[in-house]
């Protein structure tokens, strides 16, 4: 158990280090950060002055050592755009993104589990087909487009919710539902297929023979056994949301999370802020991955930490 934990930790550190190295290489070696940060009309003298002031004229390995040492202490430097420490800016945005993602995954689970079970119970019924085709549509529709469509319908035409912004539940509903659409599709599919597998198992017959009610068998026997892929997928979807989809949804709804911050930083060529943002997201992803492993083991006693 301890060994397993240590190995997971080493692996996580490797991921975070890997991300930092890639971000460093991309921002320092592939492109020219100074050119990017300076306005287009800057002169050669200004260019050289800035290059020197920011230390971009030093050898790459020296720059990397400096970058790594500071990153370890959580110091990414000041944001060019806001003139405050970049890491703080990112951390300020965390609650908004977390709120959005957790509400979205909650909606997704509440919506998809009953749907998937019903579809698996009556394979090839009308409901099953509607579910399969519907969940396929959830997977096919681009998130940002779906966001605009719900804005058009529920905010512009019906006026039930706000088109964009942050603050009340009226702001939250549309982005959360939009973000939930893709996971609903995928989770419904996995609930359906893993329930189908479980319903064919012989322990189901045994349970029925014992005289248990159908509802009890489905929820306590089949769903419990089917829950491992479901929970794994849901956690994986949450990771993907935090590491990507939120960016697009936050952009559509002007939701002030770290995804929107990343886009703003990119538009303003604020490299320090981009680095801090990517670093924080990598940390979140790694932490979630470890959590997924633990959930996995907690649900399935056969899984041993080795």
Partner 1 sequence: MKASPADTAVLPRRAIIEEERFPFWRNLWKLIRDLSRDRVATMGVLIVFIVVFAAVAAPLVAPYDPTKQNLAKRLTPPSWALGGDAKYWLGTDQLGRDILSRIVYGGRVSLTVGLSVVAIAGAFGISIGLISGYFGGRTDDILMRLTDIQTAFPGLLLALTIITMIGPSVRNIIIVLSINGWMVYARITRGIMLSLRETPFVDAALVIGCRHGRIIFRHALPNLLSPLLTLTTLELARIILAEASLSFLGLGVQPPAASWGLMIADGHQYITRGWWLVTFPGLAIALTVFGVNLVASWLRTYSDPTQRYRQIRTVE
Binding site for partner 1 (CB under 8 A): 11, 14-15, 18-19, 22-23, 26-27, 30-31, 33, 36, 123-124, 129, 132-133, 136-137, 139-146, 148-149, 151-152, 156, 193, 196, 243-245, 247-248, 251-252, 262-263, 266, 269, 274, 277-278, 281-282, 285-286, 289
Q: How far apart are CA 20 and CA 76, in angstroms?
A: 11
For the chain, report the end-to-end CA distance as a whole number of angstroms: 7
Q: Which C-beta is closer to partner 1: that of 110 or that of 303? A: 303
**Least distance (Å) from partner 1 to the CB of residue 142?**
5
Beta bridge partners of 85: 78
Q: Which C-beta is closer to partner 1: that of 212 or that of 229? A: 229
Helix axes 143-150, 246-253, angle to 10 degrees: 30
**Least distance (Å) from partner 1 to the CB of residue 282?**
6
Q: Which C-beta is closer to partner 1: that of 112 or that of 246? A: 246
**Least distance (Å) from partner 1 to the CB of residue 60?**
15
Q: Which C-beta is closer to partner 1: that of 74 or that of 216? A: 74
**Least distance (Å) from partner 1 to the CB of residue 202?**
17
Torsion from C-alpha of 7, 12, 18, 20, nearest 10 degrees: -140
The number of angstroms, rounded, from the C-alpha of 188 to the middle of its chain's C-alpha atoms is 19
**Least distance (Å) from partner 1 to the CB of residue 265?**
9
**Least distance (Å) from partner 1 to the CB of residue 106?**
22
**Least distance (Å) from partner 1 to the CB of residue 212?**
25
Q: Which C-beta is closer to partner 1: that of 94 or that of 263? A: 263
Q: Which C-beta is closer to partner 1: that of 96 or that of 278? A: 278
**Least distance (Å) from partner 1 to the CB of residue 71?**
15
Q: Which C-beta is closer to partner 1: that of 19 or that of 105? A: 19
Q: How far apart are CA 188 and CA 215, in angstroms?
A: 19
Q: Which C-beta is closer to partner 1: that of 99 or that of 263? A: 263
């Amino acid at each position: 158990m301890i060994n397993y934990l240590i190995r997971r930790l080493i692996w996580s550190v490797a991921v975070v280090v890997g991300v930092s190295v890639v971000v460093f290489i991309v921002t320092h070696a592939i492109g020219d950060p100074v050119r990017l940060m300076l306005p287009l009309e800057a002169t050669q003298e200004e260019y050289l002055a800035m290059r020197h002031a920011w230390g971009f004229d030093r050898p790459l390995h020296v720059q990397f050592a400096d970058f790594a040492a500071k990153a370890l202490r959580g110091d990414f430097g000041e944001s060019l755009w806001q003139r405050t420490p970049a890491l703080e800016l990112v951390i300020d945005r965390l609650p908004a993104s977390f709120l959005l993602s957790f509400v979205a995954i909650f909606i997704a689970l509440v919506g998809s589990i009953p749907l998937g079970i019903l579809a698996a119970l009556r394979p090839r019924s009308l409901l099953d087909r509607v579910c399969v085709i519907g969940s396929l549509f959830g997977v096919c529709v681009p998130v940002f487009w779906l966001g605009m469509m719900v804005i058009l319908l529920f905010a512009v035409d019906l006026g039930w919710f706000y088109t964009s912004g942050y603050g009340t539940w009226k702001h939250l509903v549309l982005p959360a539902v939009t973000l939930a659409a893709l996971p609903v599709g995928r989770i419904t599919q996995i609930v359906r297929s893993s329930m189908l597998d479980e319903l064919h198992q012989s322990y189901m017959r045994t349970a029925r023979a014992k005289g248990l009610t159908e509802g009890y068998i489905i929820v306590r026997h089949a769903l419990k056994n089917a829950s491992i892929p479901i929970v794994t997928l849901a956690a994986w979807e949450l990771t993907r949301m935090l590491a990507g989809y939120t960016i697009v949804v936050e952009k559509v709804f002007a939701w002030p999370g770290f995804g929107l911050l990343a886009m703003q930083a990119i538009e303003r060529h604020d490299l320090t802020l981009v680095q801090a943002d990517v670093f924080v997201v990598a940390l979140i992803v790694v932490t979630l991955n470890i959590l997924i492993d633990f959930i996995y083991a907690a649900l399935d006693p056969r899984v041993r930490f080795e």
